[in-house]
Structure 1
Amino acid sequence: MSKTSKVAKNLYRNRELSWLQFNARVLQEAEDKTVPLIERLRFIGIFSNNLDEFFKVRYATIKRIVEAGKGGRRVLGGISATELLEEITQTVIEQQATSLSILNSIQEELQKENIYIIDETELSPEQDKYVLDFFIQKVSPSLVTIMIGELEEFPKLKDSAAYLAVRMKMSKEDVTFESKINYALIEIPRQIDRFVELPTEGDKQYLIMLDNLIRRCLGNIFSIFNYESITAHMIKITRDAELDIDSDLSRSFLEKISRSVEKRSSGDPVRFVYDKNIDKETLEFLMNKMGIDSTDSIIPGGRYHNRRDYMKFPSLGRKDLLYEAKEPLRIPGLSLEGSILEKIAEKDYLLYTPYQSFGYVVKFLKEAALDPKVKSIKITIYRLAESSQIAGALINAAKNGKDVTVQIELQARFDEAANIGYAEEMQSEGVKLIFGVTGLKVHCKACVIERLENKKVSRYSFISTGNFNESTARVYTDYTLFTSNQRIGKEINKVFDFFQVNYQIKKYRHLIVSPHYTRNAIYNLIEKEIQNHEQGLPCGIRLKLNSLSDFKMIDKLYAASQAGVKIKLIVRGICCLIPGVEGMSENIEVISVVDKFLEHPRLFIFENGGDPKIYISSADFMGRNLDNRVEISCPVYDEDIKEELIDTFEICWNDNVKARIISQDSDNDYRRNDKPQIRSQFKLYEYYQQKLK
């Protein structure tokens, strides 16, 4: 049986294996020699960081299915949970080996550019002196070293922290320990940059990794002991990141989330990664002490772990080895100088970051904070920047007497601690906080302000596909719609009413809101395209998503394909739909674009008989977005903006440089053809430059 027919036998691709295919596309960017050299290193970091989060969340979930004694085939797309854990581990071992090979080749290329990443054995006398001084001044005060050889209870290792497992063979004269083999753990400090720049020598630049710098100084750390030999190998443990929220009614939700985040650091282990050159005796000692079992993913790796740190590899002043920095563009007709609200009162505007400036969102809120006619601001917050101008503008508005209401999602995965800090700060400054709806995450991105104009209330809104975060807006592509459409403003208010009185389910004529309406609304839009095809009217579906994993939604798309409706899908990450299968999905094409920026917008285009219905959305087609989160899909009514959104979709669809074809074979082949080269992210910048002319 061929590979193709074997895949086609299943209706869906497994979600976890599909995600690993997405991460393989990230790794392709690290391998691509047309990508600037330092950027390639950073893609190694992104690949590794993605993998860490995958194990904390998805692998941990599958492990819980196994431990509960369940098969899981129905929810996992036809594979058992036990088989899936094995396949994940095998795939990850292969990907890690590939990433190590790519890393080695990048380092060879760096040497051609006179950039050397050296280890502790390659230091010149001057560099050695610098390293010892650096260790004493910067590293030693931050170092946590635990003598584990004779501890009765093994210490709890921190989630995703890197440790050097030290083995000392004691000399005959040693009387400190009973055993002649002793062990210690050194935690690699996270607050010190992983890459330490050494003094240059001529035109050569040198770096040493912090772990190697510590290896050089083992004699300094363990100087009080009498040993014959000493070795250090890196290990890392990844823990289950599921939040365990207690039911103590006496605690506030803020308190419960805070405690739960603290407990996460001691969750069950799900992955153990170690230097494959570690001696067998040390490895067995560690695994026994840590309680690593057969359902954990045990991965032999290279000398260095936590390769996510390559995301912050220093620029070294080498602009020639980085992507060219391009200034975000203005929105035609919308100035950052005058009143943004006056302009939005006249017409809708679309912002597409990072091609255009996120400053428009900040400007909107800062103007609202100062404008005496603005009486209230309501906004949802999912992830904020580390130093957030958004939070600052909201606090400023509250100090100016505005009625400011913020729905802040305290369970935004891995950003809980930051959001707790902002929540406490805003609360202390008079901002009203809403902590969501029991059992539902609030993932929508919306803001509405109310302004008194001629004794009447006017509403100004913005709705986005991405977070209100200045940092991610520089690297995530996202749409934001600014509008003074009063019907949309009123319906955003209804969403906020639902947050506060959530036993009342609101009705909407314009917005599509999860968890009550999105699934059926999208079904109806798909069904309409099927009817249009049967009636000989223009039909077609174009979707841009981060993930497509809901089996029922996939079934609906299969039904449209079988009816003859042409479907184009741009899916960055997980895609459980299998395209191009005769009799099932032959009218569906799927591509994925992975490039300089992270593709993040959700865009739905339904041909609708020649009068396209277009929505921007915070929701992917995943069960959680459709049924278990508060999401907003917003219709676009402005004809110019509809045309702009179709243009941006088509530019992305026609990418033949960075687009990969998602096929039955799951092989991540680049789309190549004889047409002029279109690299969509670069082409989109040019598109918006042309609009300014």
Structure 2
Amino acid sequence: MIEKTATHSPQVRNEYINRELSWLQFNARVLQEAYDKKIPLLERLRFLGIFSNNLDEFFKVRYATIRRIEEAGKTGRSFLGGFSAKELLAEITHTVIDQQAYSLKILSDIHRELKKENIFIINETQVTRKQSQFISDYFVKYVSPAMMTIMIGELDEFPSLRDSAAYLAIRMVMAKEDDTFETKYNYALIEIPRTIDRFVVLPQEGDKQYVIILDDLIRHCLHNIFGIFNYESISAHMIKITRDAELDIDSDLSRSFIEKISKSVKKRSIGDPVRFVYDKNIDTETLQYLLQKMGIDNTDSIIPGGRYHNRRDYMNFPRLGRPDLQYEPTEPLPIPGLSMQGRLFDKIKERDYLLHTPYQTFMYVVKFLREAALDPKVKSIKITIYRLAEVSHIASSLINAKKNGKDVTVQIELQARFDEEANIKYAELLQSENVHLKFGVKGLKVHCKMILIERLENKKIVRYGLISTGNFNESTARLYTDYALFTADERICKEMNKVFDFFEVNYQIKKYRHLIVSPHYTRNAISHLIDIEIKNKKAGLPSGIRLKMNSLADYKMIDKLYEASRAGVKIKMIVRGICCLIPGVKGMSENIQAISIVGKFLEHPRLFIFENAGKPKVYISSADFMGRNLDNRVEITCPIYDEGIKQELLENFEIGWRDNVKARVFSAKNDNAYRKNNKPPVRSQFAMYDYYLNKLEVN
């Protein structure tokens, strides 16, 4: 029987939970989804893949940052939640080893459940003669041409291993009569090809379906690869290295910004190793040989793992024609009153509309741009881009608009973490079509998501805007919950234009009456809104704060919320990921409650609600309460003026707050305990879809 939570919980020190350890607890919540037997089997595998992918990115970025602090001889206690960098590295490694072991138990449990469904994931020792012939043919036709095999024992210098690539470490014990090598033991590395699906579906036999992992398919064919040598025995064990992903952008003024980012991204492949994961069953001699050759010592995070690495590939496990083992698909709904057939501009001019993906279709955003590209009255389109889909209708719409003579300006963030290469390609594509490109503001990432369209109506320019909490990405819009506001409200659109002006002339700091813009105003504006709630509470007026976000890690903002709690202001928070605030502590945060919802979709919107003496102020935002969002990025927090949309967002928050199926409670215990109460079960993401379905029926 698998326990419901991993045994190791991060420690709490002082008034905050450490950011890195809080993030690891978020990933533990992802593991809880993989464990949950009420979730369809193939979806549980997907959550295991998400867990592994998250962990890879964590080591590339966060672990690497802490290690640099430690190597610089600094403790970092003041901003590491009471830990020294050295203590934190040890705590992270301890936690990750525990979580990895837990994930392997879950995977083993899922394999047993799959067998009950006549789905068998077999290894090279379980292959039948008939399957062996299929595998051999498949290997020769697809795998062998794509495979890289390196005889490392024969090299003077150990090759640089690719970041996050999976390798089979081969050890051959040579026969006495073999004179090819001077040594009895010889080693090789096989890089698992990334261009081939990790899971190979074998021919079905009756009702039974068989899948072999590419690693085991290669193991089955080792003699095909190394048959030219005379060996007594051969073994293969998986290893993987994770490298520091920090970009080091050079200051060469003669190089374009695209060239600088491109060069920096390529350097990632030779970044310092920060994690070495290996099959715990590997023989000691091979492990020590590899560690010595790679120069990995005890200062690096060395993680014993299972037989297979890069379990992120489980996100793309074949569906095998088994819809009964997957989430029931839900068709994205239309926005009431906003037809995909008519002209969007006419409707948006009359009133604001809110899009809530994936419950409602992202195609409204595509149509917004497609319509602008074709409309003769549209004169200009301005857009900020952070992440795009691999095949982007957004990009093609912008190119279409340019070909139709529109003035198109694209602010594209080339430093969007792990999307740099994709954004460089899109930047080059847009540049080749003569689209006007902007590459942000020096020292700041542009993280806000907005589109501004200018249209000539009755000889006057009328602006139409779209402000989103998430990326203009068709792929993630099917998986991430996000808000997007369509508006022609001149108060908002005029100030959106100011932000675009700031990209052009960024030494001039603009003033805003409606939008709250980082890095110049967000911290003070949010603090002021909290102060108003404190003042109203003391005056006996209605007060309260409701916040929904991805991460809460800024200590000054946490202190402000603690101050409000001590004044008696009731605070409810839905925080998906990092939460460094500790709720429910007497004398500090007893008036704060916080939950995290992890479920079918990834919760991504930021929603801020301030009671304001009974006249709530409601905002959607691209910014979390993290130092980077408040001080080092261009972000937009947008007020909601339409009373209908304001009510919709208030109801949205309450649906999430009532969740008692997928909600976990934040507390000083930091143990990811599920919320338990005697109320009827509410699974908020399913309830949210029903909410919008009901809106359609009412209208």
**Which TM-score band (shorter chain)?**
over 0.9
Q: Does the alignment pair 1:218 with 2:222?
A: yes
Match for residue 618 of structure 1 among 622, 626, 645: 622
Would you say the 8 A contact 1:119–1:209 is kept in 2?
yes
Select which of 150, 153, 166 maps to 2:154.
Answer: 150
Letter in 1 for 2:114: L
What is the alpha-carbon distance in structure 1 between the residues aligned to residue 299 and residue 627 of structure 2?
26
Kept after mapping to 1: 8 A contact 2:467/2:486: yes
Distance 1:291 1:369 in 2: 55
The correspondence of residues 663-678 of structure 1 with structure 2, limited to 5 A, is 663-678=667-682
Q: Displacement, 1:317?
A: 0.4
Equivalent residue number for residue 278 of structure 1: 282
What is the CA–CA distance in structure 2 between the aligned matches of 1:32 and 1:135, rounded to whole Å?
36
2:80 to 73, 76, 79: 76
Distance change >3 Å, CA 286–CA 529, structure 1 → 2: same
Residue 351 (str. 1) matches residue 355 (str. 2): yes
User: What amino acid maps onto 2:605 in structure 1?
Assistant: P
Aligned ranges 1:208-247 → 2 under 5 Å: 208-247=212-251
Contact residue 171 and residue 226 of structure 1 kept, 8 A: yes
Contact 2:121–2:211 under 8 Å retained in 1: yes
The SS at the match of 2:124 is coil
Q: Tell me how far apart the structure 1 counterparts of residues 251 and 298 of structure 2 sit (CA, whole Å).
A: 32
Could you tell me which amino acid in structure 1 is paired with residue 252 of structure 2? D
Q: Secondary structure at the match of 1:298?
A: strand
SS at match of 2:90: helix
SS of equivalent to 2:78: coil
Which one of 558, 562, 567 corresponds to residue 562 of structure 2? 558
What displacement does 1:500 show? 1.3
| Aligned residue among 572, 576, 585 for 1:581 | 585
Q: C-alpha deviations, 1:352-396, integer Å up to 9, x for none? A: 000000000000000000000000000000000000000000000
Among 183, 191, 200, the alignment partner of 2:204 is: 200
1:3 is matched with which residue? none
Asked if the contact 2:12/2:18 (under 8 Å) is kept, the reply is: no
Which residue matches 1:508?
Answer: 512
Q: Following the alignment from structure 2 to structure 1, what is the Cα–Cα distance between the partners of residues 658 and 418?
A: 35
| Cross-structure match for 2:308 | 304
Q: CA RMSD in A?
A: 0.9
Name structure 2 gaps, 5 residues minimum: 1-9
Partner of 1:32 in structure 2?
A: 36
**Alpha-carbon shift at residue 226 of structure 1 (Å):** 1.0
Question: Once the 2 structures are TM-superposed, how far is the Cα of residue 294 of structure 1 from its aligned partner?
Answer: 2.0
The aligned amino acid for 1:193 is D
- The reply to whether residue 457 of structure 1 matches residue 461 of structure 2 is yes
Structure 1: distance between partners of 2:299 and 2:569: 44
CA contact (8 A) 1:56 1:239 kept: yes
Following superposition, the deviation at residue 8 of structure 1 comes to 7.0
Q: Which residue of 1 aligns with 2:260?
A: 256
CA contact (8 A) 2:13 2:81 kept: no
Q: Counterparts of 1:486 and 1:122 in 2: how far apart (Å)?
A: 68
Deviations 1:459-499 (A, max 9, x none): 00000000000000000000000000012111111111111
Give me the whole-angstrom Cα distance separating, in 1, the residues matched to 2:300 and 2:483.
40
User: In 1, Cα distance between the equivalents of 2:231 and 2:298?
Assistant: 35
Q: 1:661 aligns with which of 662, 665, 669?
A: 665
In the comparison of the two structures, how many residue pairs are matched?
A: 689
Output the CA distance in 1 between the equivalents of 2:425 and 2:240. Answer: 28
| Residue 134 in structure 1 maps to residue 138 in structure 2 | yes
Q: Secondary structure at the match of 1:62?
A: helix
**2:365 is paired with a residue of what secondary structure?**
helix
Alignment of 1:466-485 (within 5 A): 466-485=470-489
**Pair 1:597-2:597 in alignment:** no
Task: Report the counterpart of residue 56 of structure 1 in structure 2.
Answer: 60
Q: Which residue of 2 aligns with 1:389?
A: 393
- In the alignment, the residues of structure 1 paired with residue 375 and residue 642 of structure 2 have an alpha-carbon distance, to the nearest angstrom, of 27
Q: 1:193-227 deviations in whole A, cap 9, x for unaligned? A: 00000001110000000000000000000111111
Instruction: Give the aligned partner of residue 635 of structure 2.
Output: 631
Residue in 2 aligned with 1:680?
Answer: 684
Distance 1:431 1:545 in 2: 34
Q: Judge conservation of contact 2:13–2:82 (CA < 8 Å) in 1.
A: no
2:595 and 2:663 in contact (8 A); partners too:
yes
Task: State the match for 1:538 in structure 2.
Answer: 542
Alpha-carbon contact 1:44-1:308 (below 8 Å) kept: yes
Secondary structure in structure 1 of the residue aligned to 2:125: coil
Deviation at 1:609, TM superposition (A): 0.5
For 1:196 and 1:400, locate their aligned partners in 2 and report how far apart those are by CA, in whole Å: 46
Question: 1: CA distance between counterparts of 2:491 and 2:370?
Answer: 24
| Paired letter, 1:251 | R
TM-score w.r.t. length of structure 2: 0.98
Amino acid at match of 1:150: E
Paired with 1:672 and 1:402, the residues of 2 have a C-alpha distance of: 55
Question: Which AA in structure 2 matches 1:79?
Answer: F
Instruction: Spell out structure 1 runs of 4+ moving beyond 2 A.
Output: 6-9
Secondary structure at 2:126's aligned position in 1? coil
Alpha-carbon distance in structure 2 between the residues aligned to 1:8 and 1:542: 24
- Evaluate the alpha carbon distance shift between residue 565 and residue 7 of structure 1 in structure 2; reply closer, same or farther with a 3 A threshold: farther
**8 Å Cα contact 1:8-1:581 kept in structure 2:** no
Q: Which residue of structure 1 aligns with residue 180 of structure 2?
A: 176
* Partner residue, 2:343: 339
The share of aligned pairs that are identical, in percent, is 75
Shift of 1:7: 6.7
Q: Distance in 2 between matches of 1:49 and 1:351?
A: 29
Q: Tell me the secondary structure at the aligned position of residue 616 of structure 1.
A: strand
Superimposed CA distance per residue, residues 536-590 of structure 1 (whole angstroms, 9 cap, x where no aligned partner): 1110000001000000000000000000000000000000001000000000000
In the TM superposition, what are the counterparts of 1:14-33 in structure 2 within 5 Å?
14-33=18-37
Q: Does 1:607 align with 2:611?
A: yes
- Residue pair 2:381, 2:452 contacting (<8 A) in 1 also: yes
What amino acid is aligned across from residue 539 of structure 1 in structure 2? S
- Following the alignment from structure 2 to structure 1, what is the Cα–Cα distance between the partners of residues 515 and 632? 17
Measure how far apart 1:65 and its partner are: 0.3
Describe the SS at the equivalent of 1:425: helix
Residues 81-131 of structure 1: CA deviation (Å, up to 9, x unaligned): 000000000000000000000000000000000000000111111100000
> Which amino acid is the alignment partner of residue 433 of structure 1?
L
CA contact (8 A) 1:399 1:430 kept: no
TM-score normalised over the length of structure 1: 0.99
The residue aligned with 1:185 is: 189
Residue identity opposite 2:377 in structure 1 = K
Partner of 2:496, secondary structure, is: helix
CA distance in 1, matches of 2:305, 2:422: 32
Do residues 87 (structure 1) and 91 (structure 2) align? yes
Structure 1 segments unaligned to the other structure (5+ residues): 1-5
Match of 1:691 in 2: 695
The CA deviation at 1:174 is 1.0
